[in-house]
Structure 1
Amino acid sequence: MATHHHISVKKTGGVAIVALLITWIAMAFPVNATRATGALLGGILPALFWLWFWLREDKVHPEPKKIIFEAFIFGIIAVPIAIFFEKITFEFIGGLSLLLFFLWAIIEEALKYVAAFFAGIRTEYFDEPIDVVMYMISAALGFSAGENVLFIFSTFQTGTLADGLALLQLRFIGASLLHVASSALIGFSIGFSVGQKTWKRLLHLLVGLSLAFALHTAFNYFIMITEGKFLLNIFALLWVVIILIIVLFEKIKRAPFYIFSLQPKKPDS
């Protein structure tokens, strides 16, 4: 009975968090009910599709659904936190610049990692290299879902339904894959360093962070500063990275199966 009670509490807590986020978004971007529903579905459903797509890479020892769910929800929660710090950095820098986009990339990648850490990395369920990649991707897609909803709400408020649908198409492919790619690179850098010496783990992490920050910064810079003039180029680069990630998935699946624990106790189940 105690176990079922804990599950019920967690599910209730998750629903309550989502409800609070929806209420906050609706207050910040008042639109009619039809467009509000469209923005929510348009923001969350594409992220869930990509989540389903990437979870298929971990079929042998799949992660518990509740861990994936928590990482996704924590990723959504990270969005308003990111916006808060990004507004501060924008006011400090004083305008759009390469430095600003770099700082924004650090903020978002750090928050996505924190979401993945508290959902799965710190738990006993993290027992093989591929796990950390799945946690990072789940958190990244939660973050992407939260961003998508906000952007679509904002577009509905200032533009037309067609504008919102056009933005949805762009974010379905562009922003969603950007967050997956950058977070996955960090996840792979951690996963491939499992069992290595400290200096090798740090080197792997440094390479992963550098690639993630560079990709995230370049995407935002070319999309926002150049007003989409290099859109095809940056999308081509993004797809190259996605192909690389698929190759890395095949490699990490063949990595030794490590049993280790970062926490003495599993989360309630």
Structure 2
Amino acid sequence: MFGSEQNTIILSLYAILPAIIIFFYIYKRDYFPEPPRIVFITLLLGAGISFPLMILIPFFEGYLETTNFGIESNHFYMSFIRAAFLEETLKFLIVIYYCLYLNEFNEPMDALVYSVAASIGFAVYENWEYVISGSKVSLAFAKDIALIRAFSAVPLHALTGVFMGFFLIEAIFDKINKKLFLFLALFFPICLHGLYNLILSSNNFSTYWIYILLIVFIIRAYFVFKKERNLQKFQNNRFSKIIPKHSDIIFSIVVSGFILFSFNYFVNFVLY
């Protein structure tokens, strides 16, 4: 039907559909759904972080080449800093500097929906890239990649969005500890994402641990959405939204990076 590109089109559907299904489920949890146009833009922006990543990743990988880290330190660096820190920071900036300024972002559930949208947007592109690259080996190999990632990497990205939104609710709509929750809105997803990657890359963990990790946080995410959905039923007033200060945003990013680099050197000192 599609000639020589039929396999590429089919594999693209395999890569994209799991992310879309997950996001559609989350989108429908909202009693007052966000405008599809704005959600779609957020998804595109999430996919678009792949372009600044192409510029940033060579710098971070180049830095690693100049160090004398041990094996476990290398794994930590690649998992928590090169991957998790870069990706989650860029998702964070989309939510903070685009979504948060929207008039439609006016209730706690919106923090969850938009954070997941930014994460899923990136997951779609990343998954597509992995699957299409796998097709260079064989069609069967690419399908296996699509199947495995549909139950691992794609849910992981959705979960990082859920917990980014979870802490942003407190940072934006609550009145106490805003700086702390803004920091956690970035740092917690980094830790979750980094731990997932570290389990996969380190020989000290069985890869089956990623499924335990995912199941635990999927259960927690279910109750997060259940709580916010129940609150929506009874809310009659418009929430007061407070935009974080630029200095607090920069502080969250810098401190997250400082903690990760410091711990990376600690791991190297202890284990190497």
- So what's the TM-score if we normalise by structure 2? 0.76
Q: Does 1:46 align with 2:18?
A: yes
8 A Cα contact 1:75 1:140, kept in partner: yes
C-alpha deviation, 1:114, in angstroms: 2.6
Q: Secondary structure at the match of 1:259?
A: coil
Q: Which runs of 5+ in 1 are unaligned?
A: 1-31, 264-269
Q: Give the stretch that moved more between structures: 90-99 or 104-113.
A: 90-99
Distance in 2 of aligned mates of 1:166 and 1:47: 16
C-alpha deviation, 1:131, in angstroms: 0.2
C-alpha deviation, 1:262, in angstroms: 7.0
8 A Cα contact 2:46 2:122, kept in partner: yes
- Aligned counterpart in structure 2 of residue 112 of structure 1, from 65, 88, 91: 91
Distance in 1 of aligned mates of 2:241 and 2:163: 22
- Aligned counterpart in structure 2 of residue 208 of structure 1, from 156, 181, 185: 185
Aligned residue runs from structure 1 range 15-94, under 5 A: 33-58=5-30, 60-94=31-65
8 A Cα contact 1:71 1:142, kept in partner: yes
Q: Give the stretch that moved more between structures: 236-245 or 76-85.
A: 76-85
Deviations for 1:204-251, whole angstroms, at most 9, x for unmatched residues?
Answer: 223333321111111111112339x62211211111111101101122
Distance in 1 of aligned mates of 2:119 and 2:26: 12
- Aligned counterpart in structure 1 of residue 214 of structure 2, from 232, 238, 244: 238
Distance in 2 of aligned mates of 1:98 and 1:230: 16
Distance in 2 of aligned mates of 1:77 and 1:261: 27
Distance in 2 of aligned mates of 1:258 and 1:244: 27
Distance in 1 of aligned mates of 2:58 and 2:238: 41
Distance in 2 of aligned mates of 1:207 and 1:192: 10
- Find the counterpart in structure 1 of residue 201 from structure 2: 224
C-alpha deviation, 1:123, in angstroms: 0.7
The amino acid of 1:149's aligned partner reads W
Q: Does 1:179 align with 2:157?
A: yes
8 A Cα contact 2:173 2:240, kept in partner: no
Q: Secondary structure at the match of 2:103?
A: coil
Distance in 2 of aligned mates of 1:238 and 1:51: 16
* Paired-residue identity, %: 23
8 A Cα contact 1:185 1:212, kept in partner: yes
The amino acid of 2:225's aligned partner reads F
Q: Give the stretch that moved more between structures: 122-131 or 40-49.
A: 40-49
- Find the counterpart in structure 2 of residue 150 from structure 1: 129
Count of aligned pairs between the two proteins? 228
Distance in 1 of aligned mates of 2:242 and 2:170: 17
Distance in 2 of aligned mates of 1:65 and 1:209: 25
- Find the counterpart in structure 2 of residue 160 from structure 1: 138
CA RMSD of the aligned region, Å?
2.2
8 A Cα contact 1:193 1:200, kept in partner: yes
Q: Which runs of 5+ in 2 are unaligned?
A: 244-272
Distance in 2 of aligned mates of 1:124 and 1:196: 18
Distance in 2 of aligned mates of 1:193 and 1:176: 26
Distance 1:213 1:71, change over 3 A: same
- So what's the TM-score if we normalise by structure 1? 0.77
Distance in 2 of aligned mates of 1:98 and 1:173: 23
C-alpha deviation, 1:261, in angstroms: 6.0
Distance in 2 of aligned mates of 1:249 and 1:44: 24
Distance in 2 of aligned mates of 1:196 and 1:116: 17
8 A Cα contact 2:15 2:124, kept in partner: yes
Distance 1:239 1:84, change over 3 A: farther
Q: Secondary structure at the match of 2:171?
A: coil
Distance in 2 of aligned mates of 1:70 and 1:262: 23
